[in-house]
């Protein structure tokens, strides 16, 4: 039971990823399946994340499951000083599966070691958020009708953005070309470049967000966070440089789709929203189908 | 010259000689092996010349022998250490530190936001570099390198 947890995107190899994407497609076509009837899913959010939580709750509801849990640590026994281990040990007696969001890195892995039921990591600090990666992958495969040989542009905070890092790992199974566009201070970390070098995957780094995007099949935008800059002036300058607006999309490929893990601040202008290449809201909907797939697969129900 | 070197640390009759310890890590080795609590005779020399390490340290322990797993705990501070097992003034066996693929305990994870620094969890690492030892935390996935290793016992 324990090893069925989804802690890191690396828990799923290429085959595992493809299986989830296939299941997600099945749930998109048949969203209301009562396969979680009689099951209790614990949703433990030690820090608030409204979007992720609602997406999971929607997925569980569509599958006919029941949800117990809390939405932030202040309303749980953590505020009384209970250890994570004790919380997980107890909750795993009440539930068939635990969905967990926690601010500390490695917490999901630790929880999976002490839990009697599988854990699905809904984000552990800046470390991993594998269900986000799988829904990104589903969005890519759905819009491009393939995963192989795509030119993927990643824009914004490439240094700290965990969604970027996990997406690189997951896409590396499918022979991509990466283009990284960021402020020099938010460049992709060396360890990911080494990882790509070892696999012989091509990548290019840029500091300017220009018409090079005409080659893109996917543009994955991310938010540049204020707290990454010690100098507020520098933040203000940077956040207005890596902004995608509708005019920039003029000479881009027909099949291009724009993704964003959300929430966005100003990195995608609102005039992009009406463009048929904007995909980020549908991407969020895909999250529900992908999480239906992950939950039912983790429980071995399908 | 040879004579002089021999005199740097006196010989023992039975026990273990640990050689090729980087001089700066001598006290870490003493800590890791728990020599502070030992009631046997211990001699050590430090800042001795070494072609390999620049300055090295050496520890001689009378009537003391180690298990391999005790010795392998030295990988973080003295990966090139050599052990000579001495019986009746003669070296009867030589051992060296072997770097395992995974280690448990010994060092803290460098990441302050790692779960192992907040809950009662023994840190576990994958050894991703054996020469200049670098450890990847099996929990938070961050890398602790040789400069950031903080020994726990």
Nearest CA in chain B to A107: B115
Please list every residue in chain B whose beta carbon sits closer than 8 Å to the beta carbon of residue A126: 113
Q: Does A112 touch chain B (CB under 8 A)?
A: no
Q: Does A103 touch chain B (CB under 8 A)?
A: yes
Q: Is the distance from CB of A36 to CB of A296 less than 8 angstroms?
A: yes
Residues 11-70 of B with CB under 8 A from A: none
Under an 8 A CB cutoff, do A109 and B138 touch?
yes
Tokens of B64: 């003391």
Determine the straight-line distance between the first and last CA of chain A, rounded to whole angstroms: 16
Sign of the four-CA dihedral A107, A109, A114, A117: positive
Under an 8 A CB cutoff, do B139 and A109 touch?
yes
Alpha-carbon gap, residue A132 to A120, rounded angstroms: 12
* CA proximity to A92, closest of A78, A112, A72: A112
For residue A302, the model assigns a pLDDT of 85
Q: Does A107 touch chain B (CB under 8 A)?
A: yes
- Residue A132 pLDDT > 90: yes
Q: Look up residue A269 and give its DSSP letter.
A: -
Under an 8 A CB cutoff, do A106 and B143 touch?
no
For residue B129, the model assigns a pLDDT of 85
For residue A33, the model assigns a pLDDT of 92
Under an 8 A CB cutoff, do A105 and B139 touch?
yes
- Residue B2 pLDDT > 60: no
What share of chain B in percent tops pLDDT 70? 93
Pick from A52-56, A137-141, B27-31: least confident:
B27-31
A145 CB contacts (<8 Å, ≥6 apart)?
none
For residue B1, the model assigns a pLDDT of 45
Assign B122 to helix, strand or coil.
Answer: coil
Q: What is the mean pLDDT of residues A67-94?
A: 90
Residues 99-128 of B with CB under 8 A from A: 109, 111, 113-116, 118-121
Determine the straight-line distance between the first and last CA of chain B, rounded to whole angstroms: 40
Cα A187 from chain centroid (whole Å): 19
Name the residue facing A110 among B139, B141, B143 (closest C-beta): B139
Under an 8 A CB cutoff, do B141 and A110 touch?
no
Q: Got the DSSP string for A91-122? A: HHHH-SEEEEEESSBTHHHHHHHH-SS-EEEE
Under an 8 A CB cutoff, do B113 and A103 touch?
yes
Q: With cut-offs at 50, 70 and 90, classify the pLDDT of residue A2.
A: very low
Which of B134, B135, B140, B142 to substitute to test the interface with A, most A CBs within 10 Å? B140
pLDDT in tens, B42-79: 998 999 988 887 899 999 999 999 988 888 888 888 88
Name the residue facing A110 among B111, B119, B141 (closest C-beta): B119
- Residue A83 pLDDT > 70: yes
For residue A206, what are the β-bridge partners?
A181
Under an 8 A CB cutoff, do B115 and A109 touch?
yes
Average pLDDT, chain B: 87
Name the residue facing B113 among A83, A84, A104 (closest C-beta): A104
- Tell me how close the Cα of A214 comes to any Cα of chain B, in angstroms: 35
Under an 8 A CB cutoff, do A128 and B139 touch?
no
Q: What is the mean pLDDT of residues A101-115?
A: 96
Element at B17 (helix H, strand E) = strand B15-22
Q: With cut-offs at 50, 70 and 90, classify the pLDDT of residue B7.
A: very low
Between A171 and A74, the higher pLDDT residue: A171
For residue B105, the model assigns a pLDDT of 85
pLDDT in tens, B89-122: 999 999 988 888 898 888 899 999 999 999 999 9
């Amino acid at each position: 039971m324990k090893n069925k947890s989804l802690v890191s995107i690396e828990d799923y190899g290429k085959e595992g990823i493809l299986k989830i994407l296939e299941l997600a497609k099945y749930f998109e076509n048949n969203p209301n399946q009562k396969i979680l009837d009689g099951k209790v899913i614990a949703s433990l959010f030690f820090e608030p994340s409204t979007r992720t939580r609602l997406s999971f709750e929607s997925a569980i509801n569509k599958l006919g499951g029941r949800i117990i849990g809390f939405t932030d640590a202040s309303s749980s026994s953590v505020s009384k000083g209970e250890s994570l281990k004790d919380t997980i040990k107890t909750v795993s007696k009440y539930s068939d599966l635990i969905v967990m969001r926690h601010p500390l890195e490695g917490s999901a892995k630790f929880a999976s070691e002490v839990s009697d039921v599988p854990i699905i990591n809904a984000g552990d600090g800046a470390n991993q958020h594998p269900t986000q990666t799988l829904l990104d992958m589903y969005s890519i495969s759905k819009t491009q009708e393939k995963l192989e040989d795509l030119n993927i542009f990643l824009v914004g905070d490439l240094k700290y953005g965990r969604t970027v890092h996990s997406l690189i790992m997951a896409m590396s199974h499918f022979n991509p070309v990466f283009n990284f566009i960021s402020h020099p201070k938010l460049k992709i970390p060396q360890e990911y470049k080494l990882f790509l070098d070892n696999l012989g995957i091509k990548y290019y780094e840029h500091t300017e967000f220009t018409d090079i995007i005409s080659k893109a099949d996917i543009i994955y935008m991310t938010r540049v966070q204020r707290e990454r800059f010690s100098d507020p002036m520098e933040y203000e300058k940077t956040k207005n440089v890596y902004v995608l607006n509708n005019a920039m999309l003029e000479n881009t490929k027909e099949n291009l789709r724009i993704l964003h893990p959300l929430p966005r601040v100003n990195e995608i202008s609102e005039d992009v929203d009406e463009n048929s290449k904007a995909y980020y809201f549908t991407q969020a909907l895909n999250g529900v189908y992908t999480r239906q797939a992950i939950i039912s697969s983790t429980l071995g129900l399908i | 010259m040879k004579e002089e070197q021999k005199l740097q640390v006196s010989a023992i009759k039975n026990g273990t000689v640990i050689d090729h310890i980087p001089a700066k890590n001598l006290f870490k080795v003493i800590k890791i092996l728990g020599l502070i609590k030992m009631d046997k005779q211990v001699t050590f020399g430090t800042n001795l010349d070494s072609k390999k390490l620049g300055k090295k340290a050496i520890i001689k322990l009378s009537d003391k022998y180690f298990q391999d797993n005790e010795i392998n705990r030295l990988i973080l501070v003295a990966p090139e250490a050599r052990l000579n097992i001495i019986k009746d003034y003669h070296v009867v066996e030589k051992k060296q530190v072997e770097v395992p693929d995974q280690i448990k305990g010994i060092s803290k994870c460098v990441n302050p936001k790692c779960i192992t620094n907040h809950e009662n969890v023994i840190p576990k690492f994958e050894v991703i570099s054996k020469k200049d030892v670098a450890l990847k935390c099996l929990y938070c996935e961050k890398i602790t390198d040789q400069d950031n290793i903080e020994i726990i016992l």
